[in-house]
Amino acid sequence: MDEYTLQPKAEIHFAARLLSKERYRLGRESDLSPIDLALGWGPMADPEVTDQIQITQSGRWFHWRTDKLPIPRRDIETNAANVHIIAANKTVKDQLSRMDEGDMVQVSGQLVDIESPDGFFWHTSMTREDTGAGACEILYATHINVLPDPF
C-alpha cells in the first residue's frame, strides 16, 4: 500500500457495537488509517452497560470512565478495543462515513502489521488480554456493514 508493506497476521470476522468513532489527520498513521473505531462486544455491546460508561477517543487511544462499574473492570478491558481501520476499498470507506455511535456493526478483514523501508513500523495487537500502549488492533477492513440491533 503505497510505500508501506502490510503483513497479514490473522483473518478476523466479528460483530460489535460502535462505542465511538474518531477521525485523525496528523501523523503517518493517519495516512493509512484516518479513522479509529472504539468497539464493544459481549457485555460491552449491551446499552444497559455502555450507557453507564463515558467513552472518548483521542491521540489514537480509547478512554472510558464511570462513577460506578456496571460490570467488572476486566470485562470492560477485554470486551472493548480501539481499532485502527484501514479501508480496503471505497465501499468500506463509504460505510465508515455512514456509521453512527451506537450502531451494531459486522466487520471482516485482516489484522496487519505495517512497515516501510525507512524504518517506520506499526504492529497490531494479537490478543484481547492486553491493555495500554500497543493493545490496539490494526484492521485492514474488507467488509463493514451495519446490523439490526439485538438489544
Confidence band (pLDDT; 50, 70, 90) for 150?
Answer: confident
Overall average pLDDT of the 65-79 stretch: 97
Residue among 151, 122, 133, 114 at smallest CA distance from 15: 151
- Looking up cell 478476523 gives 12
In order of 4, 23, 83, 92, the CA distances from 119 in angstroms are: 10, 25, 23, 29
Cβ–Cβ < 8 Å for 13, 7 = no
Query: Residue 85: what pLDDT?
Result: 97
Residue 151: its pLDDT value, please?
83
CB neighbours of residue 59 within 10 Å: 9
In tens, the pLDDT along 3-59 reads: 899 999 999 999 999 999 999 999 899 999 999 999 999 999 999 999 999 999 999
- Taken in order of first residue, the domains within the chain and their CATH numbers are 5-147 (2.40.50.140)
d(CA 89, CA 99): 16
CA–CA dist 123, 81 (Å, integer): 15
pLDDT digits (tens, 9 = 90+) for 87-121: 999 999 999 999 999 999 999 999 999 999 999 99
124-141 residue pLDDT tens:
998 888 888 788 999 999
Does the global pTM surpass 0.95? Answer: no
